[in-house]
Structure 1
Amino acid sequence: MVADAAALLLEMAVPSRCGRVTAQRILRALGWQPCQRLDIRLHQAVLVIASASDGRYQVGSRGALPLPASVRRMCGIGHGQPVLLAALVAHDLVVVHPIGAVARLLADLHVEVAGGAHVC
């Protein structure tokens, strides 16, 4: 659980054709610079990006995070679909949520807000 909401930065992004997402505010908050080495792994239905001195991936020269095709497919991030980036600053990592997963998490709340009626 994130104790301080200020320690959690949220940003929406749409991956480019090559699977990179721009998230300058998040990168600044984490202190990640271009060429910063990263580890990217799948955890349940989300991607977890962490700083790692021996990481296989890196922040792009223009400050973009890579989302490799193999892990995008595994967590259901389709071409042109937005993702929710959640930076956990105190833990030095970014969690990438596919938009479909975000919608599923919020569906029950939206039904409740609509007074229990079916939301189209």
Structure 2
Amino acid sequence: MATGPATRTSSVVYGLSVLDHRGRVTDLAVLRTLDWPPGTRLHLRPADGPLTIEAHTDGEFSVTEQGHLRICAAARHRHGLATGDRVLLAADPAAGHLLVFPPAVLDDLFADKFTAASGGDSR
């Protein structure tokens, strides 16, 4: 028996953005939900998987005057991000976090779903 669609239980806001040559992500609809005005200092937590970004007084970078996020070159290289990559943004306003999912992380997250959708083993 088929079940109905899942019901949302989260206030997380999602969006996609293309990473430009300066490391900017520009989905203002997502970024504005975090209430980070221009100049807000941000910290990138070191971790495997998605980049986790949060406001922090001693943050190593800040929201641009236009309200964009600029991911530093070292973080882009560490996470395998390149100019033109589409990244999934997931903002959790209640927690004050932004997760940035690089394409390779998305590949890992969805590999089983694509295998199941194609009817089984992808070999």
TM-score, normalised by the number of residues in structure 1: 0.87
Show the counterpart of 1:91. 95
Give the superposed CA RMSD: 1.7
Which whole-Å CA distance do the structure 2 matches of 1:4 and 1:30 have between them?
18
Structure 2 SS opposite 1:43: coil
Return the letter of the residue paired with 2:84.
Answer: G
Where structure 2 has 5 or more consecutive residues not aligned to the other structure, the ranges are 1-7
Larger Rg: 2
Deviations 1:12-59 (A, max 9, x none): 111111101112112221111111111113211321110112212110
Runs (4 or more) in structure 1 with deviation over 4 Å come to none
Which one of 14, 17, 34 corresponds to residue 18 of structure 2? 14
Return the letter of the residue paired with 1:90.
Answer: A
Where structure 1 has 5 or more consecutive residues not aligned to the other structure, the ranges are none
TM-score, normalised by the number of residues in structure 2: 0.85
Structure 1 SS opposite 2:94: helix
Which whole-Å CA distance do the structure 1 matches of 2:73 and 2:14 have between them?
22
Identity score, percent: 32
Q: Is contact 2:19–2:82 with CA below 8 Å preserved after alignment?
A: no
Structure 2 SS opposite 1:27: helix
Q: If each structure's helix is expressed as a fraction of its own residues, which one has the higher value?
A: 1
Q: If each structure's strand is expressed as a fraction of its own residues, which one has the higher value?
A: 1
